[in-house]
């Protein structure tokens, strides 16, 4: 789905946009071939709370969308994942940042095609049931993987890549070294 020229909004125009954020590699340091199974495993990227604070003031809404196949592999439980997310929540709260407008995770295995597992767009379609005014042409997907970019392509979102040396691809609209660098561009 295309038909619009991707761009990054500046200043007040951000308020018309929905921001979709991946977690691993964007908000926290990626773990190669493993998962943040407990809170101590989740290492937040530098200045993530401040970046989220700025983003929460700039955008109409922020939606977290994350694949978490560690749950599907049964190397961690839903409660383990909740505890990991609680660490992120506490970091945000400590810095007076509200939690995301809505957060979704897909516990499904990479080997199974499920509508919620990125690059499928089920999590984004579910977000639209919560917020019917989401306009895909005024939405941005920020992620670090090819799956994040394919997800954005499926609905025509602007694609923002956060660089991660684990992945080699070049189908993003914009690329930044970190979430902080992305915030500074707005």
Q: What is the pLDDT of residues 14-44, one digit of tens each?
A: 889 999 999 999 999 999 888 999 999 999 9
* pTM for this entry: 0.94
78 is catalytic: no
Structural domain count, the chain: 1
CATH number of the domain enclosing 56? 3.40.50.1000
**Which candidate in 24, 80, 144, 148 is catalytic?**
24
For the stretch 43-77, pLDDT in tens is: 999 999 999 999 999 999 999 999 999 999 999 99
pLDDT tops 90 at residue 7 = no
Residue 42: inside a domain, yes or no? Answer: yes
- Would 2 be classed as within a structural domain? no
| Active-site hit among 22, 80, 144, 148 | 22
CA distances from 126 to 12, 13, 23, 170 (A): 26, 24, 18, 28
* Residue 22 among the catalytic residues: yes
Instruction: Give domain status of residue 3, yes or no.
Output: no
Query: What does the pLDDT average to over 149-157?
Result: 96
Q: Which domain holds residue 142?
A: 17-176
Q: How many CA atoms lie within 13 A of 34 on its CB side?
A: 8
- Quickly tell me which residue has 């961690």 as its tokens: 76
Residue 48 falls inside a structural domain: yes
Is the Cα dihedral 107, 167, 182, 149 positive or negative? negative
Phi, psi of 144 (to 5 degrees): -120, 5
Q: Does residue 32 sit within a domain?
A: yes
User: Is pLDDT at 4 greater than 80 in this prediction?
Assistant: no
Asked whether residue 57 is assigned to any structural domain, the reply reads yes
Number of H helices, E strands in the chain: 6, 6
Q: Give the pLDDT of residue 168.
A: 86
The answer to whether the beta carbons of residues 77 and 42 sit under 8 Å apart is no
């Amino acid at each position: 789905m295309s038909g619009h020229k991707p761009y990054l909004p500046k200043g007040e125009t951000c308020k018309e946009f929905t921001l979709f954020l991946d977690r691993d590699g964007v908000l926290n340091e990626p773990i190669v071939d493993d998962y943040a199974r407990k809170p101590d495993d989740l290492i937040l990227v530098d200045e993530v709370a401040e970046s989220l604070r700025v983003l929460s003031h700039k955008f109409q809404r922020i939606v977290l969308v994350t694949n978490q196949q560690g749950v599907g592999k049964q190397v961690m439980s839903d409660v383990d994942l909740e505890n990991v997310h609680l660490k992120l929540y506490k970091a945000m709260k400590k810095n007076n940042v509200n939690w995301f407008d809505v957060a979704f995770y897909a516990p499904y295995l990479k080997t199974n095609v499920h509508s919620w597992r990125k690059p499928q767009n089920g999590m984004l379609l579910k977000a639209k049931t919560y917020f019917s005014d989401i306009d895909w042409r005024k939405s941005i997907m920020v992620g670090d993987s090819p799956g994040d970019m394919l997800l954005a392509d499926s609905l025509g979102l602007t694609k923002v890549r956060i660089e991660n040396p684990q992945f080699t691809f070049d189908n993003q609209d914009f690329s930044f070294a970190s979430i902080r660098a992305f915030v500074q561009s707005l």
